[in-house]
């Protein structure tokens, strides 16, 4: 780490102020961009302007950071680490003879890149904007910077009062019906399936619809749906999630909360999961009219789902997306609550052979392929470097024990 170089460059302009702007995609309730923007601002010794969110993606959500998170809390909590402001002072903008310099850092850049390539531009231009700032910082950082990431992820990013109030209201409703509930984060939206390049048996209609959606991305490669599924890259269908859970021992009396956006195929796609778990609930079912104000905003709806999933006794994901990883990491960090991640590659083989074996055999095989992915306190796999999911630098104590997933 070239901290000596960083300190020397910053010392030379100690009396100046430098502002860092970042913009990022709206990835559900929380994004790596927010925490990494804080870390990069610390590396550069810059004043961070509250992140701007993408309003032009296919999510079509015009929410700002302050519509999702308690921005005053965010600024205050991190004040000893990084100076954060809501906007660049007006007089500074007036004094600038050029627009802020914009640049995009390579994915997973190391701190030295920001010191060598970004800091000189920031020193010269005073205001710098980093665009599409998602996964632009490596997962492998010094322990102190990893702990700063944790302060952002698990403490500074607090949802607005209206989101927290409704999310906790839904949790209380579920707890009144049963002392325990399982939450499933079901990513099965049309855009997600199109992006994955997978095929789910819907015939020519499905192929045509998802192919049209896929054209929104200019740089996506041609993919073989069969190869993607065999590699475990396809999200489980709602039916497959239900079969996995039943095979793992969850009975049909389990209270199941399903967090999702628009499900491809609608009720027809969800029907098999509902039949396996009749006690099936969503935010729309539980919130009623309280949800009306949030309906136009996918990011705020995702935040409500995030709260209910985080509070669940068991969290299950059908994908390996950002929200699923952040939730898994948060549940480890906050004292450990079980998170089940599907072994999609091996489960796919079992689903294809389902009709060739009895239920007991199928159940035993599912339990076998899911070993190590059932949310035990120490089931972290070797060479795992995803700090989203495994914030190991911030966890000082791991609780021993092997508690049944169904009791």
pLDDT at 398: 47
pLDDT at position 293 is: 95
Structure tokens at 29: 């309730």
| CA 234/CA 143 separation, integer angstroms | 34
> What is the rounded CA–CA span in Å between residue 212 and residue 174?
39
What pLDDT is recorded for position 12? 40
Give 393's DSSP letter: G
| CATH architecture of the domain with residue range 161-188+235-394 | 3-Layer(aba) Sandwich (3.40)
At residue 159, the pLDDT reads 96
| Domain boundary assignment for the chain | 3-156, 161-188+235-394
Reported for 221-230, long-range contacts at CB under 8 A and 24+ positions apart, including other chains, are 223/197, 224/197, 225/197, 225/198, 225/199, 226/199, 228/196, 228/197, 228/198, 229/198, 229/199, 229/348, 230/345, 230/348
Spell out a b/e string for 250-281, using b for 16 or more CB atoms within 10 Å of the CB, else e. Answer: beeebbbbbbbbebbbeeebbebbeebbebbb
Q: In what order do the strands lie in the sheet with 280-281?
A: 280-281, 256-259, 182-185, 314-317, 338-340
pLDDT of residue 208: 93
Angle in degrees, CA 187, 196, 63, rounded to 5: 50
Predicted pLDDT of residue 215: 85
Q: Alpha carbon of 44 to those of 102, 184, 381: distances in Å? A: 16, 39, 33
Query: What per-residue confidence (pLDDT) applies to 135?
Result: 85
pLDDT at 121: 94
Distance CA 51, CA 40 (A): 12
pLDDT under 70: residue ranges of the chain: 1-16, 25-31, 55-60, 378, 380-385, 397-407
Which residue in 168, 340, 320 sits closest to 254, CA to CA? 340
């Amino acid at each position: 780490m070239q901290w000596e170089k960083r300190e020397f460059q910053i010392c030379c302009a100690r009396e100046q102020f430098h502002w860092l702007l970042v913009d990022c995609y709206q990835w559900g309730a929380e994004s790596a961009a927010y925490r990494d923007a804080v870390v990069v601002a610390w590396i550069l010794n810059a004043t961070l302007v509250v992140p701007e969110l993408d309003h032009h993606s296919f999510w079509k959500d015009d929410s700002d950071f302050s519509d999702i998170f308690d921005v005053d809390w965010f600024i205050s909590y991190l004040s000893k680490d990084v100076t954060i402001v809501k906007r660049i002072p007006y007089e500074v903008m007036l004094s600038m003879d050029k627009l802020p310099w914009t640049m995009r850092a390579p994915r997973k850049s190391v701190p030295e890149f920001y010191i060598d390539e970004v800091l000189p531009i920031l020193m010269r231009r005073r205001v710098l904007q980093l665009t599409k700032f998602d996964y632009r910082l490596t997962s492998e950082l010094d322990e102190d910077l990893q702990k700063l990431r944790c302060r952002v992820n698990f403490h500074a990013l607090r949802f607005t009062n209206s989101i927290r109030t409704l999310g906790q209201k839904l949790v209380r409703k579920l707890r009144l019906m049963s002392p325990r509930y399982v939450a499933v984060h079901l990513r099965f939206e049309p855009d997600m399936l199109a992006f994955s390049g997978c095929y789910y048996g819907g015939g020519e209609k499905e192929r045509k619809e998802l192919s049209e959606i896929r054209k929104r991305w200019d740089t996506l490669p041609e993919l073989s749906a069969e190869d993607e599924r065999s590699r475990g890259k396809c999200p489980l269908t709602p039916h497959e999630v239900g079969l996995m859970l039943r095979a793992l021992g969850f009975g049909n009396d389990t209270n199941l909360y399903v967090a999702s956006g628009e499900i491809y195929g609608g009720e027809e796609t969800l029907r098999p999961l509902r039949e396996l778990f009749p006690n099936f609930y969503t935010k729309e079912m539980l919130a009623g009219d309280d949800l009306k104000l949030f309906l136009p905003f996918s990011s705020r709806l995702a935040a409500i789902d995030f709260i209910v999933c985080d509070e669940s006794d068991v969290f299950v994901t059908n994908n390996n997306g950002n929200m699923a990883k952040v939730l898994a990491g948060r549940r480890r960090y906050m004292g450990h609550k079980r998170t089940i991640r599907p072994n999609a590659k091996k489960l796919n083989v079992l689903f294809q052979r389902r009709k060739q074996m009895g239920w007991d055999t199928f159940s035993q095989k599912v339990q076998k392929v899911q070993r190590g992915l059932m949310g035990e306190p120490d089931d972290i796999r070797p060479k795992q470097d995803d700090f989203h999911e495994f914030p190991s630098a911030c966890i000082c104590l791991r609780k021993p024990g092997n508690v049944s997933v169904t009791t």
